[in-house]
Amino acid sequence: MFQFPGDPTTPGIASTPNLPDSKRVSPVESEQLPKIPVTPISYADASPILEHLGGPPSPREWQGALPFTYHVGPGPAKVKMHLKQDYQFRTIWDVIGKVKGTSSPDEWVVAGNHRDAWVYGAVDPNSGTAAMLESVHGLGELLKSGWKPKRTIVIGSWDAEEEGLIGSTEWGEDHAQELGNAAAYFNMDVAVSGKKFGASGVPSLKEFIREIAKAVPSPQGGTVYESWKKTSEPSAESHRSQETSTFRPPPAATHNDVPVGDLGSGSDYTVFLQHLGVPSTDVSSTGDYGVYHSVFDNFAWFKKFGDPDFRYEQQMARVYGLEVIRMSSADVLPYDYENYGREILVYLDAAKSKSKERFGDKVPDFSAALEGARHLQEAGTKILQKQRKMPTAPDRLNAKLREAERALLIPEGLPNRPWFHHAIYAPGQYTGYAAVVIPGVNEAIDRGDLRRTEQQIAALAAALNRTALVLEQYR
């Protein structure tokens, strides 16, 4: 997924049933399909192989829980493995529901969750599916009472997420033009695996998530925000290091408020934010979850350990539903670009320090990007004041606010992976699900490529100034 998600034979275009073969990359030529055969095995099958492996003892951090010393080989054990790979094109199904907006029907607020699982998937993804469907139920009751959203609400049940975010990616690529007017994408994957609320999102929506959390009651008493704040204190449990759908890395910028993480990949927001520039969030309630992607992620585990009374399911349905309702009903879109610029300044300071360690006295000049981030912060401050004044005709203001996130897209994409266009967020090439902030710059530094670092600083500065100018165009 670090290169591009979705159908590995159709990078950048929708994999629809009527797509001619000439538009596809052949499976043999696809960069995404593996060239080295791999199979997962159980520890019962791995045990005799490992036990009979010779050579030096493994590094201590490689020693597992099986009752013998691990060695690194080679031999004398030999393994003969027969793999039968079933490569075929198969039809997948996204299920889409819409509620047409009254005053801005072409502006979409999209919310989604995937429904496919590796086995039973009680937590991943069905805790999210159940909460999303309960949110839809709540929307239905509102519609019966006469309420109608200003913007069109689109609810997506995505297929084939576990095979590489295929359902959401292909739908996003197929509706790229309509999504050019989207106000937000709200994701929920693992809704509940425990009691600790967490969220990730673009900086322009981080305060929006906090405000939502203040409006939802917590099963622990008080509000979700108050519980969130308690578990975010330095003495609280540290962030999970396990890379799963519930993994939520700490945000790259420091906050005085509850921490909202940064979006990397591993779930269905990827196409919306990092390919199309739609402001996105992801929310979940997490805990000890030792059954990830296994046969034990079932209803029995969920009822005994995850959420026995389904109180956190209710909490997440309320959080998710309120995100959709408030965004679809807002007179003025609740983005905060002042905070966006401020966070990017923190990212740049960290990258500048890292580049000094990497390049020594040849450290590249960051002044253009720093100036661009300050420009964005200042433009964000000014437009935030206009947002708070609630203009009588907000359509033009909302159009500029939506356009600003798209302006952060780099037209040619990131080096060696042009599908990813966002200048600020991408999954790292070597970090799994975790985000790399200002990825073009940071990954060039990591490679020790001074020329590319300078090029990516220039591309970032251009994106930041482009975004600030979009905001400044509103008078």
Query: In the block, which residue shows the tokens 């997490």?
Result: 286
**Are the beta carbons of 409 and 419 closer than 8 angstroms?**
no
Helix axes 395-407, 367-388, angle to 10 degrees: 160
Query: In the block, which residue shows the tokens 């469907």?
Result: 133
161 is catalytic: yes
Which of 161, 170, 323, 405 is labelled catalytic? 161
Q: Give the C-alpha separation, 367 to 346, whole Å.
A: 14
Q: Give the C-alpha separation, 5 to 264, whole Å.
A: 12
Q: Give the C-alpha separation, 264 to 254, whole Å.
A: 18
Alpha helices in 308-362 (DSSP H): 311-329, 337-359
Residue 444 burial (CB < 10 Å; 0-12/13-18/19+)? buried
Cα distances (angstroms) measured from residue 452 to each of 260, 340, 443, 445, 459: 30, 25, 9, 8, 10
**Are the beta carbons of 282 and 188 closer than 8 angstroms?**
yes
Q: Which helix (H) or strand (E) holds 456?
A: helix 450-472
Catalytic annotation, residues: 161
